[in-house]
Each structure stands twice: as structure tokens, then as C-alpha cells.
Amino acid sequence: MGNRSTRLYFFVACLFSVSLQAQELTQIVSVTYSDQTLGHVLDDLSKNYDLKFSYSADYIPLESKIWVRPGDKKLSDALDDICDQASVAYRPIGGQLVLKYKEKEAKRTSSAKIKPLKPKPLPKSVPQTTPIYSEAPAPIPPIQEKTDPFSPLAKQSIKTIPGGNKVVELDAEVVEVTPYVTSSQLTVGDNRLAQISLLPFLGTNADKSEYITNNVSVNIFWGTNGGVDGVEVGGFVNTIVEDVQGVQVAGFGNTVKGNVIGTQVGGLFNTSGGEVQGLQAAGLFNVSNQSKAVQASGLFNVSAKQTTGIQASGLFNVAGRGNQVSQASALFNVAGGHATTQISGLFNVGGDIGWGQISPLFNVGKKVDGFQIGLINIADSVAGLPIGILNIIRHGYNKVELSSSESLLANFGLKLGVKGFYNIISLGARWDQLEVVNGNETINGNFMTWGVGYGLGTAITFSPRFLVNIEAITMHINEAEPWTNELNQLNQVKLLFDLRLGRGSSSVFFGPVGNLMLSKVYNEDTQEYGSLVAPYTLRESTSANGVNSQMWLGFTGGIRF
């Protein structure tokens, strides 16, 4: 009798322990593991959630790598995921979670490589029961004893082994224990034809909304669902835990943690934590982790990683590295990798550029296969033309030159750009023996005349050692004073022949120069308008408004580095 009472007490205690443990396993936890060992995961769960694991370190693969997606979930769901990856089964016994290695499943999965944090595929359809449908739910299959690594259970003795682990030794008399049913087994279905909701979890899918994928989803105000494989329409906001395949439309916005394959249309915004393939259109902004799509919005578009497609917005576009994207915006575009085209109202910044960059302020690129049009263009190399006031091309036509001519005896020139199109910054000076009237005083001496100018040019290559430059430059000339306020402009057209010296990059150049001097400088001695820079004139005239023009043909020569 005493022995029978002892067995009954032990049986009731086991049932109470399993029930209590089952309640603990339904608690909501927030865990994230990426490439962590099973041993580390078990220690972390024990510390944060007061769990007690019993296992033998000789039989449990504690070095197995574990990946768990971030987010809130039931503890039982997290344990199911963790144990499946390590081919381990768990069972609540005596206030502890007993772990046992599943040899058969380990053999089946030994050749498969676990990949981290990839979206789960959309589940297969199973029967459902809701107020809309009348068919009965599919019965929950009974747990087969032959697949249960813990059955049959026997009397247990728990002892501590070195390292802090515990091992459960089972022996002798069999004790029947009610099997623990996981939350996934309690789910009515993973896929349903349709659902309708008023607010999150207030609809036909009730508290299982975040686990169920729907072919048709209607959210009157705001809805939360596991996934969409078809069409979803929301009055304000649609929230999806996994993926969307099809069409998603919301009055305010759509939020998807996984991938979107199809179309997202939001009155204000669309976001995706995974990849978007198709179309994102929003009144304010679109945000995705990566995209192979068209993103169109009123304010901005952001794709954090690899981007292929088109981004068009009212303010700006941002795409991550490794892209092949075309961007158009009112303010600016930024692409961390390859961009086909960038057009903006202020500036563009990109990696390698396929077709071109156009903006009024500046463009920045690396290898540009096309062109750049902007006030300032910066690149490593440009296959086409950089058209701007200042072009800084790292592997381009960049030259420093020293020269002399009959107009200005000493000249310094800086050429920046590519051979097809480059900018010229020029400085020049000359010294003349003059008689200058300063008020009531007349000064005789050697005075400097100097000029600063800007120009454009192109170089035509005929051979590795010979090319021809065609250049146009305009310079403001300051005659015998620090700065001349009147019009005093020297305009030049040059045809220069360039011969490279030896194997280096230095060269000599020479050629004719056509000069046109326009001046309103007034000479009080002669009481005439005109500059003194011209050594002679082929043609000279003065207009009615006092602008003197002088034309002559000159010559220049120098050395380039």
C-alpha cells in the first residue's frame, strides 16, 4: 500500500511539474542569436529566464551553431527553433528541461548547411476554421511514442557532473507522463484563404494573426499578419511579420519585416526589412534593406544594401553598396556602388557611373563610363566628357605649364580634366618702362602689368609623343596697377603643338595665338581709349561707347609637366 501511494504521489508530481513548465514555456521572450554555440545559448537562456537544463555534455552537440531571428516570441517557439537546429529534443521533467540528442534527424540534416537569418518560405495551405468558414479543423495528430526520444519515461535520478552540466539517468519502472504539446502544434493553420480584422489581433485570425499567411487580407484600420500570398488592403496600416507576395495597399503605410515580391502602395510610406522586387510607391518615403525594384515617393527613397532599378523622389535618394541603379531627385542622389544614371537639382555622389551624372553644383564618381555635367566634377576617371567650370579627374589630363609670349612675358597655366575637355587657369605678367601720371605727380619707372584668366581646351592625340591643343582663354589685364576696374580683357585662341620629351610625361609646346583686346582704359596723354599690351595691331577700332578693340597675331611656347 505504501509503495502504491508513493507511485501515485510521484505520478501526480510529474503531471504538476509538466503543467507548470508548460505555462512557463508560453511566456514571451526576446532573443537573438547569430552564429552562437548551443552551449552559449543554453547558458544565456538559463541566466535571463531562470531555466534549468539537464543534459549530458557527452551526448549533446554544445558546439552546434545557432541562429535565431530577432523579435518577441513564445519561449516554446524559440526552444523549438534552437533544438531543431542542433538535432536535440527537449521535455519538461521535474521543473527542468531535459535535453536528448535525436540521432535519426541529425543523420538526415548532417549534409545540410544552416544559413543565417534568411526569410522563411511561405507555408503550405492547410484547412482552417473561422466565423467565415464552416469546415471543421484538421485534428491534431497524436504524438507517436516511437518518435518521442523520451518515451517511455522511468524513474529518474539527477546528478551533477564536472562542468556544471546535469545528466538524467532513467531506470526500472515506467511512469506515464502527459506529453508536452508545443505552440506550433496548437496552431489552427499556417495558411488561410482570407481574413478580416479591425485592429491587430482583433479579427478572424484572433491571437494567431502573426503566425498565419493569408491569400486575401482586409484590415479595416490596422492589421497584423504573418504573411500575404495574394492581396492585402488596409484602411490605415498593414503590418507583416514575414513576407509578402502579391499586392499590398494601405491608406497610410505598409510595414514588412521580410521580403516583398510584387507591389507596395502606401499613402505615406512603405518599409521592408528584406528585399523588394517589383514596385514601392508612397506619398512620403520608401525604405528597404535591398531592392530590385522601382521606388517612387514624394520625399525620399532609401535602399540600404544592393539596389537594382530606379529611385525617383521629390527630395533625395540613397542606395547602398553594390548597386546598379538610376536615380532622379530634386535635391541630391547618393549611391554607394555602381549607378547607371544620376540626375538631381543640387548634387550627385556615386561609385562607378554607367551613363552619366547631371547636377547644377557638383558630381562625384569613381570610374565614369559616360559623362559628368555640373559646376564641379570629380572622378577617378571619365571615359566621356566632364563638362563644368572645374573638372578634377584623378587619372585625366592634368598639366602644369610655363610659357612666354609677346603679350605677357611670363605665364603659368594649370590644365585639369580629360583630353577631350579640360579647364585652364592662367596667370601672366609683363614689365614695361612707363611714364605714369598719379594726380599732379608724374612717375617714370618699370611697372608690372599682370593678368588672370580662365579657359577651355581639347587635346587631339596623333601619336604617343605628339598631340595638338586647341584652346580658348579670356584674361583680365591690370595695367601698371594692382587692379584695373575698367574693362580690359584679352581674349586668345591658341593652336599648340605638343612634343613629349623622352619617356617621361614632360613635353614642349609652341604655336600661333590669335588675340583680341577689348579695353575701356583711357590714356590721358593721348586722350584715347585702349590698352598698351598689344605690340602691334592688324585692326583697331573704338566704338561710340568708348570700347577700344585691337586684333593681332602672336606666338607662344613653353614646357609642360
pLDDT tens digits for range 304-336: 998 999 999 999 999 998 788 999 999 999 999
The burial class, CB within 10 Å (0-12 / 13-18 / 19+), for 182 is middle
Domain for residue 322, yes or no? yes
Spatial distance between the Cα atoms of 555 and 535, rounded to a whole number of angstroms: 12
Domain for residue 150, yes or no? yes
> Is the model more confident about 275 or about 120?
275
pLDDT at 438: 67
Among 133, 168, 188, residue at a domain's last position: 188
- pLDDT band at 175; cut points 50, 70, 90: very low
Is the Cβ–Cβ distance between 320 and 334 less than 8 Å?
Answer: no
> Can you tell me the mean pLDDT for 444-452?
91
Domain for residue 394, yes or no? no
Task: Verify that 153 and 204 share a domain, yes or no.
Answer: no
Positive or negative: CA dihedral 454, 460, 463, 466: negative
Tell me the DSSP string of 297-308.
ESSEEEE-S-EE
> Can you tell me the mean pLDDT for 156-176?
43
> Can you tell me the mean pLDDT for 488-516?
95
How high does pLDDT run on average in the chain? 83
Task: Verify that 490 and 456 share a domain, yes or no.
Answer: yes
Task: Verify that 162 and 21 share a domain, yes or no.
Answer: yes
Of 4-13, 19-28, 244-253, which one has max mean pLDDT?
244-253
Task: Verify that 419 and 367 share a domain, yes or no.
Answer: no
Task: Verify that 32 and 117 share a domain, yes or no.
Answer: yes
Task: Verify that 129 and 233 share a domain, yes or no.
Answer: no
pTM for this entry: 0.66
- pLDDT band at 114; cut points 50, 70, 90: very low
> Can you tell me the mean pLDDT for 164-189?
41
Strand partners, 339: 325, 353
Task: Verify that 265 and 342 share a domain, yes or no.
Answer: yes
Spatial distance between the Cα atoms of 86 and 209, rounded to a whole number of angstroms: 28
The conformation of residue 209, written as its DSSP 8-state character, comes to: G
pLDDT at 45: 84
Is the Cβ–Cβ distance between 275 and 258 less than 8 Å?
Answer: no
Domain encompassing residue 288: 189-386
Task: Verify that 366 and 409 share a domain, yes or no.
Answer: no
Q: Is the pLDDT of residue 234 over 90?
A: yes
Domain for residue 382, yes or no? yes
Least Cα distance to 479 among 518, 447, 523 occurs for 447
> Can you tell me the mean pLDDT for 365-380?
97
Task: Verify that 469 and 487 share a domain, yes or no.
Answer: yes
Give the CB-side neighbour count of residue 362, counting CA atoms within 13 A. 10
Spatial distance between the Cα atoms of 542 and 557, rounded to a whole number of angstroms: 31
Task: Verify that 181 and 251 share a domain, yes or no.
Answer: no
Domain for residue 334, yes or no? yes
Considering its fold, how many domains does the chain have in total?
Answer: 3
Domain for residue 128, yes or no? yes
> Is the model more confident about 178 or about 37?
37
Of 61-70, 117-126, 487-496, 502-511, which one has max mean pLDDT?
487-496
pLDDT at 64: 86
Task: Verify that 160 and 306 share a domain, yes or no.
Answer: no
Q: Is the pLDDT of residue 171 over 80?
A: no
Task: Verify that 286 and 431 share a domain, yes or no.
Answer: no
Q: Is the pLDDT of residue 458 over 80?
A: yes
Among 168, 188, 208, residue at a domain's last position: 188
Q: Is the pLDDT of residue 555 over 90?
A: yes
Q: What percent of the chain has pLDDT over 90?
A: 58
- pLDDT band at 84; cut points 50, 70, 90: confident
Q: Is the pLDDT of residue 4 over 60?
A: no
Domain for residue 268, yes or no? yes
Domain for residue 393, yes or no? no
Give the CB-side neighbour count of residue 487, counting CA atoms within 13 A. 12
pLDDT at 21: 52
Is the Cβ–Cβ distance between 323 and 339 less than 8 Å?
Answer: yes
Among 169, 188, 207, residue at a domain's last position: 188
